[in-house]
């Protein structure tokens, strides 16, 4: 069904029946965050008296889910939020899958990781492993291991002089800094080294995260680990609980669905879709697509 907005009110308190002609509308949708009982009664009475459709969109604070269902308890309409399938036996199955696959990946990739480590050390001064502080499951702070892809002068943290994100943004052209503030990403990022571009394009920079998986900080597949610098973009601390309900992943649904071509809101929606629709088969498909893109598509950052 397609809708055309005839009139939009900022609040139910602004509703005045005398200002709205019944013949000009077919449906009223209420999505007020704090609707009062009296205001709702006035709107419903207006709709009933004038044969106008009425719909109510409940605004559950911080929750945007496709797993919300309408049901009734003794004739009373209620909304039900179905839990993620990554609960109970689902969580155990996912953890076993992670440990088995990650152990194989670690044994196969170890020689390549040593080679990458040496190349980084020889081409740019500074630590070859970057510890990225992020939010893990339940909002716990974790340190995610990555091969350093940025030049030392743009890297953050105590090992690089204690630079902050704002310190680095001041070194960038204004258009690049503004792009980062809006999306937390930069296309054709000047901070990234030549070898770092190769590592990002092939996702090899994330190989050290297999140790995070074995530690239990990460999963192979899941929502992207959320850095503190992106918390406000994701909706602030009030939204943290819905984003970190499961372990973050090395790769995830949004990474194989467009990467930098997606808006930040689209990334969040894909992460939530993954949480609500998880299965081992979905993990396998995402892993296969990650490898395919890394080897063949070359569509990295």
Quote the pLDDT of residue 166: 75
138 in Cβ contact with 244 (< 8 Å) = yes
Quote the pLDDT of residue 49: 77
End-to-end CA distance of the chain: 38
**pTM of structure:** 0.64
C-alpha–C-alpha distance, residues 237 and 252, integer Å: 22
C-alpha–C-alpha distance, residues 267 and 5, integer Å: 27
| pLDDT tens digits along 218-232 | 999 988 887 876 766
Give the range with max mean pLDDT: 61-75, 135-149, 154-168, 264-278. Answer: 135-149
Mean pLDDT value of segment 263-276:
77
184 in Cβ contact with 229 (< 8 Å) = yes
Could you tell me how many helices (H) and strands (E) the chain has, helices first?
A: 9, 9
Mean pLDDT value of segment 71-81:
63
Token pair 């680990």 is found at: 225
Give the range with max mean pLDDT: 87-91, 140-144, 270-274, 275-279. Answer: 140-144
| pLDDT tens digits along 31-54 | 766 667 777 777 777 777 777 777
User: Taking 60 as the threshold, does the pLDDT of residue 300 lie above it?
Assistant: no
135 in Cβ contact with 109 (< 8 Å) = no
User: Taking 80 as the threshold, does the pLDDT of residue 159 lie above it?
Assistant: no
User: Taking 50 as the threshold, does the pLDDT of residue 61 lie above it?
Assistant: no
CA distances from 46 to 38, 188, 201 (A): 12, 55, 58
C-alpha–C-alpha distance, residues 172 and 189, integer Å: 10
Mean pLDDT value of segment 157-181:
75
Percent of the chain with pLDDT over 70: 75
Contacts 24+ apart (CB under 8 A), 60-67: 61/238, 62/235, 62/238, 62/239, 62/241, 62/242, 63/242, 64/242, 64/269, 64/272, 65/272, 65/276, 66/273, 66/276, 67/276
Least confident of 102-116, 211-225, 287-301: 287-301
User: Taking 90 as the threshold, does the pLDDT of residue 134 lie above it?
Assistant: no
């Amino acid at each position: 069904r397609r809708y055309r907005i005839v009139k939009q009110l900022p609040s139910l308190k602004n509703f005045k029946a005398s200002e709205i002609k019944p013949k000009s509308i077919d449906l009223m949708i209420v999505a007020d965050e704090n609707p009062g009982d009296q205001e709702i009664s006035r709107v419903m009475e207006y709709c009933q008296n004038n044969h106008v459709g009425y719909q109510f969109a409940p605004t559950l604070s911080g929750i945007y889910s496709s797993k919300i269902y309408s049901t009734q308890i003794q004739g009373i309409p209620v909304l039900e939020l179905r839990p993620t399938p990554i609960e109970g036996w689902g969580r155990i199955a996912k953890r076993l899958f992670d440990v088995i696959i990650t152990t194989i990946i670690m044994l196969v990739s170890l020689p390549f990781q040593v080679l990458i480590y040496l190349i980084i050390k020889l081409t740019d001064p500074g630590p070859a492993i970057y510890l990225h502080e992020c939010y893990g499951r339940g909002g716990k702070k974790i340190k995610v291991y990555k091969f350093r892809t940025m030049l030392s002068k743009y890297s953050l943290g105590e090992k690089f002089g204690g630079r902050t994100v704002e310190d680095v943004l001041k070194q960038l052209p204004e258009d690049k800094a503004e792009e980062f503030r809006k999306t937390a990403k930069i296309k054709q990022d000047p901070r990234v080294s030549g070898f770092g571009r190769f590592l990002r394009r092939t996702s090899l920079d994330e190989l050290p995260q297999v140790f995070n998986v074995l530690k239990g900080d990460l999963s192979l597949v899941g929502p992207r680990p959320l850095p503190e610098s992106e918390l406000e973009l994701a909706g602030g601390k009030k939204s943290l609980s819905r984003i970190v309900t499961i372990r973050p992943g090395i790769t995830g649904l949004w990474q194989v669905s467009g990467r930098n071509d997606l808006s930040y809101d689209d990334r969040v929606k894909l992460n939530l879709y993954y949480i609500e629709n998880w299965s081992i088969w979905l993990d396998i498909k995402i892993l296969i697509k990650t490898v395919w893109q890394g080897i063949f598509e070359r569509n990295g950052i």
